[in-house]
Amino acid sequence: MGENQKMKILCLCTKFPHPPKDGGTMAMLSMIRGFYRAGHEVTVLTMNTPKHYVTLSSIPVEVRIMAEFHAVDVNTQVNVFDAMANLFFSRESYHVLRFTSRPFRDELERLLNLKQYDVIQLETLYMAPYISTIRKMNSKALISLRAHNIENEIWRRRAQNSTNPIKEYYFYVTANRIRNYEEMVFSANQFDMVIPITGRDSRIIKELGVKKPVFVSEAGIDADALDKREVKMEHPSLFYIGSLDWEPNREGIDWFLKEVWPTISRTYPKVKFYLAGRNMPESYHKLANDQLVVLGEVENAAQLIKSKSIMIVPILSGSGMRVKIVEGMAYGKAIVATTMAAEGMGVRHNQHILLADKPDRFINAISVLIEKRSMLDTIGFQARKFCEDRFDNDKIVGRLLKFYQDQLGKGKKSG
């Protein structure tokens, strides 16, 4: 296939990729936008879950024109009774089974009957159960598994950080089952290629037995999509924005509020910390005061990011890449984060970001940015430049598309 030849690409998503309010949706939407901007024909088949429910009519025109969207209602919410039954009476991963849906499979078959695709991109490991459906339909498309995370690591790290023995046991069992599933999927090599988001994830995936091509494609940011409106920045101020229905995010904020914020609030009584995110727990609202401003879900994330001066990302568990850090850097924010939060991104401490894993170091990093405006401005400037150089979405997607076209060309030659 020629480098500029138009491809038909089908993306299978675990949740609606719009609005882009968390790392997963941002990564999916950026990829779809990149495919569209490069002139390819994109179809999106997505699960429409209670947690991220979207009506097709509510999608803005500028997003709707990027792809042909198809949504299937799938309830992926965790049911405690089902989770416990699975824990004791099954060896399969409950968190994989949640994404197995007959209606979704039926819609996939319908689409495969209607059109011949060149590439079918599965967004996350949880779309892997549908590989057999694609093969059964005799699709000639190359199957690409885009691995957003090393999924078992998220659960293993949660187990390591848990102080509740029951939760610790459940997290370890879940981690082991997902690890077994990852090993089965990757070693079976039923797909044609794997697309991890970081180089670190690429190395781990290869260790799991992948023999097919592995191509690293980071999540990018569209400069054209950034909010260009002028906003007055409140300095000094701290902010956090992220989905609070994701356990690693809550875990990190709990740690920050317990270990870091009390010292910062006492030392700098005029500094405010703005806590924003969807599905904000009521327990955080109860902590709100003059210094701790609990916003909940905000209508315009970009406006919040631009209006505050220091971004904090205290992640203690998880895997993959923090797309919110990329967004913060794109807006020139000085960011204080744990090493795990910035894992696999290539950022340098004291140049693009400040990294701190212990409470005293986190406190010190924030204090330096509060007291030294010149350092805050320098870190923010260098972060924006790094983001422009490394995370330009068109360049990232362009490299991935060339890889796809090369693989399609090899397939035709071997055929």
Task: Give 41-88 pLDDT, tens digit per residue.
Answer: 999 999 999 988 999 889 999 999 999 999 999 998 877 777 777 777
Question: Tokens 């995936």 correspond to what residue?
Answer: 205
- Provide the 10 A C-beta neighbour count for residue 188: 13
Rounded to an integer, the average pLDDT of 106-124 is 96
Nearest to 222, CA basis, from 37, 19, 406, 347 = 37
Strand order in the sheet with 193-196: 68-73, 41-48, 8-13, 119-123, 142-147, 193-196
Q: What's the pLDDT score for residue 412?
A: 59
pLDDT tens digit string along 180-191? 988 888 888 889
Instruction: Please give the C-alpha separations between residue 325 and each of 22, 114, 186, 197, in angstroms, as whole numbers.
Output: 11, 40, 29, 14
Distance of CA 61 to the CA centre of its chain: 24
Torsions phi, psi of 270, nearest 5? -95, -5
Q: What's the pLDDT score for residue 166?
A: 86
Q: What's the pLDDT score for residue 28?
A: 94
Superfamily of domain 224-390: Glycogen Phosphorylase B; (3.40.50.2000)
pLDDT tens digit string along 270-318? 999 999 998 898 999 999 999 999 999 898 889 999 999 999 999 887 6
pLDDT band at residue 149 using 50, 70 and 90 as cut-offs: confident
The first and second tokens of residue 394, run together, are 């068109």
- Provide the 10 A C-beta neighbour count for residue 91: 9
The first and second tokens of residue 195, run together, are 């697309």
Domain range annotation of the chain: 8-220+392-414, 224-390
What does pLDDT average to over the chain? 91
Beta-strand relationship, 272-276 and 292-296: parallel
Give the CA dihedral 366, 368, 370, 375, nearest 10 degrees.
-120
Domains 8-220+392-414 and 224-390 share a fold: yes
Rounded to an integer, the average pLDDT of 322-327 is 89
Contacts of residue 106, defined as CB under 8 A and 6 or more positions apart, other chains included, come to none
pLDDT band at residue 258 using 50, 70 and 90 as cut-offs: very high
Instruction: Please give the C-alpha separations between residue 31 and each of 111, 247, 397, in angstroms, as whole numbers.
Output: 20, 25, 7
pLDDT at 3 over 70: no
Torsions phi, psi of 349, nearest 5? -60, 135
Rounded to an integer, the average pLDDT of 237-251 is 89
Superfamily of domain 8-220+392-414: Glycogen Phosphorylase B; (3.40.50.2000)
pLDDT tens digit string along 93-107? 877 888 999 999 999
Q: What's the pLDDT score for residue 21?
A: 79
pLDDT tens digit string along 212-236? 999 999 988 888 888 888 899 999 9
**What is the amino acid identity at position 174?**
T
Nearest to 15, CA basis, from 6, 3, 27 = 27
Q: What's the pLDDT score for residue 156?
A: 84
Please state at what angle helix 23-37 crosses helix 393-414, rounded to 10 degrees: 70
pLDDT at 355 over 70: yes
Q: What's the pLDDT score for residue 413?
A: 53
Higher pLDDT, 48 or 170: 48
Q: What's the pLDDT score for residue 81?
A: 75
